[in-house]
Amino acid sequence: MKPIKVAQIGTMHDHASETLRSLTDLKEFFDVVGAAEPEEKAAERFENGIFKTVPHYTVDELLQMDDLEAVTVETQEESATYYAQLFAEKGIHVHLDKPGSQNRESFEKLVATLRSHNAVFQQGYMYRYNPVVIDALKKVKNGELGEIFSVEAQMSVHHPKEKREWLGKHKGGMLYFLGCHLIDLVLQIMGEPLEIINLNTCTGMDGLTEPVDYGCVVFKYKNGSSFIKSTAAEIGGVNRRQLVIQGTLGTIEIKPLEIYPDESTDIQTQYREAMLRDEVMPFRDKQEIKTSDRFDRYDTMMAEFARYIRGEKANPYTYEHELKLFDLLMRCCGL
């Protein structure tokens, strides 16, 4: 089967360089036509690293190409949905890095346009492609953990002052920027909450008073509650990123969600399972902490994008799910 002709729009998203690197590496899936950087302030980035290895175009030039089949949109969040819409209107498949703009009308229009063309819509929620998370979600679905009554999810980091100032551009700050990954997981596991308790705030570090660099939200359900925490001010936060799923028959703890064992792009995950059938004595269970095989989050995600486009696999994340997730995220951010 011929490789899919794809182009990348933008360099400013945190995932931009790795997404393009993956597209160029996966030659059996993609033929990278080139890239466009529509934002003048990013022109310097466009001339460095992986971006200088592919042809450069304007957005208009890419839109004129009759054989372009797919795009990955990696601009800053506030403009991502706008550029995705331009290509969606031509029936071009879209990978939109998470979470899209905060404008519900434009996001809904994008989804409707892609649906009308039966075009693939993939978002860059990377934990969807973590093999340990995938396995945990399967166990939830097939009932191995019993009835789920709580999910605890954390995804924090220690950002410099400038990055935390940047968060102020977005309502909900850190919960919007990184917490969206976790909201996606809790929604998949627990469904929509009966009540949302928003605890977002600013730590006040470095004299900042406005950006929400401490994101926290609690979801209430009929049989328990779940919480999501994402901060930009936690020293060592990356190594404490975790997902804990608690059910009546067992618990799965994934921590840290990602480990970089060396300088490569490969990732590993550590996890443990505690099942009721194996429990000998409370407080003295001896669960083994396991480490996953290595994987590349971007290669997995982009390969799946190609399979969706080729019709080799149905996208498990439907248009309806992405709309439901967007609405829940906006509520968590106070919109």
Instruction: Say what angle helices 104-116 and 77-88 make with each other, to 10 degrees.
Output: 30
- β-strands 242-247, 224-231: how paired? unpaired
What's the confidence (pLDDT) of residue 282? Answer: 59
Q: Is the model's pLDDT at 213 over the cut of 70?
A: yes
- Distance, in Å, from the CA atom of 319 to the CA atom of 321, rounded to the nearest integer, reads 6
H or E element, residue 134: helix 131-141
Q: Is the torsion defined by CA of 301, 302, 305, 307 positive or negative?
A: negative
What's the confidence (pLDDT) of residue 172? Answer: 92
How does pLDDT run across 128-171, given as a tens digit for each residue?
A: 999 999 999 999 999 999 999 999 999 999 999 999 999 998 99
Q: Which of 246-260, 261-275, 312-326 has the lowest mean pLDDT?
A: 261-275
- Distance, in Å, from the CA atom of 300 to the CA atom of 266, rounded to the nearest integer, reads 11
* Reported confidence tier of residue 210, pLDDT bands at 50, 70, 90: confident
Domains of the chain from N-terminus onward = 4-126 (3.40.50.720), 131-294 (3.30.360.10)
- Distance, in Å, from the CA atom of 333 to the CA atom of 335, rounded to the nearest integer, reads 6
How does pLDDT run across 178-197, given as a tens digit for each residue?
A: 999 999 999 999 999 999 99
The share of the chain scoring above pLDDT 90, in percent, equals: 82
Which residues fall within 8 angstroms of residue 201, CB to CB, at 6 or more apart?
212, 214, 216
